[in-house]
Amino acid sequence: MKNEVKIKLDKIMIQEKDKEWGKKIHNCLEEFGKKGWEDREFRILYGHYITKPMTVYEYIDACISNPPKQMFFAVQNIYNKFKNPKITLLSVRDIFEGHQNELMIENKDCLGKKGLIETKVALTPGKIEVPEIAYKGVLPESLSKEELYSIFERMEEIKKSAKMLVEEEATTSLTHIVISSFYKCKDRNFMIITATNTSKDKISMFSETPIVTKDKKYYYYGDSLIKPSAESAPHWVIHSTLHKDKNPLCKSIIHIHNDRMTEISEHSDIRLKSVYIPVITKFSYATEEIGKEIAWMLKRHNTFGVSVKAHGQWFVGKNLIELAEQIDVILKEVKNR
């Protein structure tokens, strides 16, 4: 595979406009070799889909038809993520960090043609609708000083709990954590949630912790250029459903993608001393439907954690700091299984 890929890259370099990028890819691969990373495997998460384990050479072979410039930045991003020795899972946003979203679909199609996309995720039957979230402004209107202070407190709590989760190694990708906090304000409800494609080791308050609300449609406040997590809709539904049921765990949600728990979820529910985590086998990414399913499972099993097969885990709690501490206990238990 290694030699085959290098031959294919040499063919790319024949064209003058591609020589520079072909050389950069070769140089980057030499660095992989120096680090002993040529055979190191990783997987890429594409919402509903996940790839099989593959090496950087298998990735290049599958995507060799992509423009060399695009290929170089993808390989460079993989190299940079590999600097964390525990990284095994990357999101498609990690691969195309700093590049256009439409490239993600093209990239998944290339990997699919090589048989590198897993199809084991069972999607929820029927039409899948991912709600749009429209920008509403910098801040909601008519907030009192006390309400504004409470919202900023929750943003700070998100930042602190995110740092705890990174230190706990809850997931091998820094972008694969979604954190939200629910706040009832007079006759309105707000959800403060982490922004899409943010590195959780260095969250910026306000710009990367947008405020989401729903009034028939979803809206967000904050920085117009930084959207809330793509999974805002399921988080909103979980918060709202638990709040309606007067469940005190309605205030905080942490969603992670832990490799070990996801592995166990392939075969069974996760039974630990600290918690019983039931598994949902059908999944619709970023929809209200999956939020309803998670909320129902939490209530049915009287628990604070649910795992979605081939995707990740959702945990709910009274506050984010305590919840992050509980997740740390769970992670230690799971490692010993």
Domain boundaries, the chain: 2-119, 133-335
208 near 226, Cβ under 8 Å?
yes
The pLDDT assigned to 122 comes to 46
Instruction: Please work out, in degrees rounded to the nearest 5, the angle formed at the alpha carbon of residue 260 by the alpha carbons of 43 and 89.
Output: 20
- Which residue, 133, 45, 34, 53, is CA-closest to 96? 45
Q: How many CB atoms lie within 10 A of CB 138?
A: 11
The pLDDT assigned to 222 comes to 96
What DSSP assignment string belongs to 99-150?
S-THHHHHHHHHHHHTT-EE---EEPSS------EEEEESS-TT--HHHHHH
Instruction: Please work out, in degrees rounded to the nearest 5, the angle formed at the alpha carbon of residue 208 by the alpha carbons of 204 and 212.
Output: 145
Q: How many CB atoms lie within 10 A of CB 85?
A: 9
CATH annotation of 133-335: 3.40.225.10
Q: How many CB atoms lie within 10 A of CB 4?
A: 12
* 3-state secondary structure string across 276-288: EECEECEECCCCH
pTM for this predicted structure = 0.78
- Which residue, 276, 278, 325, is CA-closest to 306? 278
List C-alpha distances in Å: 337 to 188, 195, 274. 44, 33, 13
What DSSP assignment string belongs to 161-207?
HHHHHHHTT--SSTT-EEEEEEEEETTEEEEEEPBTT--TTSPPTTT
Q: Given the structure tokens 């949902």, which residue do they identify?
A: 280
DSSP assigned state of 249: G
Q: Given the structure tokens 């959780």, which residue do they identify?
A: 200
The pLDDT assigned to 313 comes to 95
Q: Would you give per-residue pLDDT tens digits along the chain (337 residues)?
A: 788 887 887 777 767 778 888 889 999 999 999 999 999 999 887 766 778 899 999 999 998 888 888 889 899 999 988 988 877 888 777 787 655 555 555 677 777 788 887 654 444 444 456 789 999 999 998 889 999 999 999 999 999 999 999 998 888 777 889 999 999 887 789 999 999 888 898 899 999 999 999 999 999 999 999 999 989 999 999 999 999 999 999 999 999 988 889 889 888 999 999 999 999 988 777 889 999 999 999 999 999 999 998 788 999 999 999 999 999 999 999 988 7
